[in-house]
Amino acid sequence: MADGGDSWQQGASKPIRTINQLQTLGEISVVSRPAYDDTSINVTRSIKQFEDERTRKYKEKVRAYLDGLSD
């Protein structure tokens, strides 16, 4: 665990620990039947990367089009 890489909050019936940053990750598997009923995963970074890449490609196409008009 990285320094300051986790946080705790009080849930309705028990404390909830959220891991925000790891120092190293040995092994992880996303499975259809997790060992714990409350297990969940989230993907947050990939949508931002996808949107950034889509915007970059769009800007490249616009630049190429505008460069073609000026020739």
Domain contains 9: no
* Contact criterion met (CB below 8 Å) for 42 and 30: no
Domain contains 68: yes
For residues 46-60, give the mean pLDDT: 85
Range of the domain at 57: 43-71
Tell me the pLDDT band of 66, cut-offs 50, 70 and 90.
very high
Domain contains 15: no
How many domains does one find in the chain?
1
**pTM of the entire predicted model:** 0.37
pLDDT digits (tens, 9 = 90+) for 3-17: 888 888 888 988 888
Domain contains 3: no
Domain contains 53: yes
Domain contains 63: yes
